[in-house]
Amino acid sequence: MDITELNKKIEQESAFVEAIRNEISKTIVGQKAMVERLMIGLLSDGHILLEGVPGLAKTLAISALAKTIDAGFSRIQFTPDLLPADVIGTMIYNPQNAGFVVKQGPIFSNFVLADEINRAPAKVQSALLEAMQEKQVTIGENTYKLDNPFLVLATQNPIEQEGTYPLPEAQLDRFMLKVVVTYPTIEEERQILHQKLQMTEPATQKVVNIEQIKKAKDVVKQVYLDPKIENYITDIVFASRFPENYKLEKIKPYIAYGASPRATINLALASRAYAFIHRRGYVIPEDVIAICPDVMRHRIGLTYEAEAENITSIDIVNEIINRVDVP
């Protein structure tokens, strides 16, 4: 299929993106970047981690997205006393047949909201690893496939440390995007206030079904990724591992470890979805640059020297983007 035909196809298949945006905007004021990243995860089968202070509509945005799609949705409130069985399910004894039956947990859904995911201990976090990577769950001796699509949409609070557990690097790496949610503008805050003072809450309607999402995902896979863009993506990731090879010697002391191969894969997949959302049949360098911070920020380990000098992973990502040659 040539680019012209693909662009026409994308124009047709991406119409629901605007419908979802319009529905979500009924309950969410602003936060366009966050909503766009949620849709990128939806179209790329990528899990999303939203980080921000309380009250920024992280949970509300995920719930609103799920309500616009005719699919299963479940919410898990993570707490320090949560058990793995509360997430994936367990075996329950049935006295009628003197045997055990499987009671499936809330993980068996299309969209799983893991609210305040960093409040649960490592034992519960590990229960999510198989589900997030292999899209399956093992209970007892049996393995069960999860629904398609299956997305874990998680939130975490960066400022409250008491009663929280840092997410293991292995789990962080399974999130396609880590999105940092910021405060609204003063005009947006006025709109939020006005909306909440209304007598009735706006209702979010279902505007798309699972079959439309699956069809759109197939089209996203057809978005053209030029070999030069592929090389650009691999250069960005390798610059986080071997900065000296890209004339970035000054950031080398700040990097404990670079991004994994999942960063390369997810940067390509997210760039394709970003192009699709913007109704293009091909990826341009600006797509990669736009989505790169959210793909890379949680995949670069920092040294104590970086923490001492208040160097963040985003500082390193920006330095890499500015230095690596753009095709």
- 40/14: higher pLDDT: 40
List all residues 6 or more positions away from 192 whose beta carbon is below 8 Å from its beta carbon. 29, 184
Q: What is the mean pLDDT of the chain?
A: 85
Cβ atoms of 113 and 59 closer than 8 Å: yes
Task: Tell me which amino acid residue 16 is.
Answer: F
Q: Are residues 185 and 233 in the same domain?
A: no
pLDDT-above-90 percentage for the chain = 22
| Confidence (pLDDT) at 227 | 92
Cβ atoms of 86 and 105 closer than 8 Å: yes
Residue 158 has pLDDT above 80, yes or no: no
Entry pTM: 0.85
- 287: domain CATH number is 1.10.8.80
Q: What is the mean pLDDT of residues 113-122?
A: 85
In the structure, what pLDDT confidence band is assigned to residue 316 with cuts at 50, 70 and 90? very high
Q: Tens of pLDDT along 245-269?
A: 888 899 999 999 889 999 999 999 9
- 97/219: higher pLDDT: 219
Residue 199 has pLDDT above 80, yes or no: no
Q: Tens of pLDDT along 182-193?
A: 888 888 888 878
The 8 Å CB, 24+ separation contacts for 169-174 are: 169/301, 170/129, 171/125, 171/126, 171/128, 171/129, 171/132, 172/49, 172/298, 172/299, 173/260, 173/262, 173/298, 173/299, 174/47, 174/129, 174/132, 174/133, 174/262
| Confidence (pLDDT) at 237 | 94
| Confidence (pLDDT) at 254 | 92
Q: Are residues 299 and 243 in the same domain?
A: yes
Cα pseudo-dihedral 170, 171, 177, 180, rounded to 10: -110
| Confidence (pLDDT) at 287 | 92
- Residue 181 in tokens: 């949610």
Phi, psi of 244, deg, nearest 5:
-65, -25
Sign of CA dihedral 43, 37, 267, 305: negative
**7 domain residue, yes or no:** no
- Identify the domain containing residue 241 by its residue range: 223-323
- 179: domain CATH number is 3.40.50.300
Q: What is the mean pLDDT of residues 167-187?
A: 85
Q: Are residues 68 and 185 in the same domain?
A: yes
Q: Are residues 227 and 192 in the same domain?
A: no
Place of tokens 């049935």: 94
